[in-house]
Chains A and B, each alone.
Chain A
Amino acid sequence: MRSEQPRRPSWERPSLFTRVMAAVGLVFLHAPVWVIALYAFTTEDRTYQFPPPGLTLHWFDVAFARDDIWESMRLSLLVASAATLLAIILGTLAAFALARRTFTGKESITLLFVLPIALPGILTGLALLAGMRTIGLEPGFWTIVAGHATFCLVIVYNNVVARLRRIPPSWVEASMDLGARGHQTFRYVLLPQIATALLAGGMLAFALSFDEIIVTLFTAGHERTLPIWFYSELFRPRERPVTNVVAVVVILVTLVPILLAYYLTRPDEQSQGT
């Protein structure tokens, strides 16, 4: 479409430098991820030699036969599911409470809701650990979930609150005027509108939790989530190629929900509400 126009005026044309640097920046962001994918197939198992001397699928068999990896994978999936569920419930409640109302103290409450992702993760981790020790709580599955839910809640809240603000208040008023009760308005007017935002928030929360390491190392005790397994493997590698395979699997497990989340909230879908 743009090509039909004659020649764009100077302030609408990027300089060659801008164009090249933009492309370089994008490649820089993506290249390392492809590297991992390549190394999962290398036949070399001691060094990080590049280019790989040969390619093989052997390491996938080895990785899939390892019980410790499956065990960690199972734990991570369970933690992510529980944390996401909690985050969806708490985040949605908060979004409904805060989307439209104005009241004294709202600023402080919204600040509290972004704090867990605004402050460095190490602070959240250490704080939760200090809190657990004070009340004598043993670290384990539920402390991991509690830590994850705390920052996942923010993600869900942000997604849902943004969508709620785009729903015209007149829709709710119309629904009420036509005699719908509160729960009916919620079920037939609001829920269909926020469904995709809710799902997207849930997907992102799941991906975030599945991959979390900074907070988890403080709250996990003796439990080994997949990122913790991965982290310990970085320092005491038993078999490097297996680590590479797990890296690829982790990328795939997190990539699917993220792409889905993007698809669910992509711009033209968002504009339907307005």
Chain B
Amino acid sequence: MATAHGSAELMDFDEVFETYEPVLGFEVHVELSTKTKMFSAAPNEFGSAPNTNIAPVDLGLPGSLPTVNETAVRYSISLGLALGCQIAKSSRFARKNYFYPDLGKNYQISQFDEPIAFEGSVEVELEDGTTVTVPIERAHMEEDAGKLTHMGGSTGRIQGAEYSLVDYNRAGVPLVEIVTKPIYGAEKRAPEIAKAYVATIRDIVRSLGISEARMERGNLRCDANVSLRPRSKAGEEPAPLGTRTETKNVNSLRSVERAVRYEIQRQAAILAKGGTITQETRHWHEDTGTTSAGRPKSDADDYRYFPEPDLLPVVPSAELINELRAALPESPAIFRRRLQADYGFTDSEFRDILNANILVEMEETVKAGASPAQARKWWLGEILRIANAQGVEPGTLVTPFNVSELIALVESGQLTDRLARQVLEGVVAGEGSPDEVVKARGLAVVSDDTALIAAIDTALESQPDVLAKIRDGKVQAAGAVIGAVMKAMKGQADAARVRELVLERSSKL
């Protein structure tokens, strides 16, 4: 089964709303950027060789025991506070029992009836500036699973694979799972709200500095629950909730939007034909823009939760909660409004920054000394171009501090824009800081007039006709000489300065 996808019948999106009302719900998993794992002292590091960030408990070795990472608990409480949640007086871990080869112990240490944070809400700003409140049910701590690679078969997918390989480096990485309450009234904006909600969570965790929140790396993962119910007429009781599907593997903001839209259309088409929705997990396929059926939810999902006997309750003190509350950064919405005012950008200028997802980078770059205009120019220009070409987020290419250094080098005349682009290329390639790249590649502007004058004199002497024209006041003729000089200097000269000197030398020779 499950191999064919993309063939489902869809109802026209606008038509859906004549008959049905969508109800949304989200489970967002945030990987915390702690130094070590949730329950072991092995490094929490992306990209290491397989099975090298491993302590005995990450493999579920017999006799091994978990221990709780204090920083992960603090991060989780901060996140709970940022989501407007209440922090539990006493919270505890529970075992969620199910067999899967990416789970070293064949149970996941999670939280069940006593999550660390509950009952909150998040203000989500849509593109036109309207705000939607998303109610939060809970945020709880848990551990990530290992990574399976399916081998053999043609697709690299689980279906048709001959065997699988397991890497437990990610097993035990701290996660916070944020669960919303059902979101009603989204109507046609459902896909947009979905995207904006996930973007807001991403901005919150990034502003807290508790996660890199890079969706392409799986630091932030969204499971989207969608159900439809018949639209009720005025004065009627609302219809009961429809059967929901849970779409997993939605790993970009754009995909969140598309997946929700797709599920709404798919479910509507089934319901319109008198069919029923199967309660199931569905997988999102980025390439085809479709979902396919995964595991049906059934009584096999008997997770047999019970309090984790190897771990003790977490009882956050009032002092700790107050300390963390006091350290909370401003909310992303307020933060955005403040920055726009500080930078003096128009709405449309600022919208570009938000859409490119470089707000935090902008702020850091300006903090490091660059002007807002220059920072915007570089982030929205060359950096965004490289990011788009590589299919990654701009913020992953270069640090704001390096960008501010680069801008400083240009402003002090040490680099031309053209040279600066080459330096940026070196920084992105991992060759070091802008200063280091300038040194290593020998890219500094030749600011020594002696060298320039020598080159100018040579050029003027080899082109006496041009020299004559300049002396006659035909200043535009200088262009040919300037070009020759720039070529001789391999581009590492400030063209304006060269021009000045050409005119000066012309009168003297």
Are A and B interaction partners? no
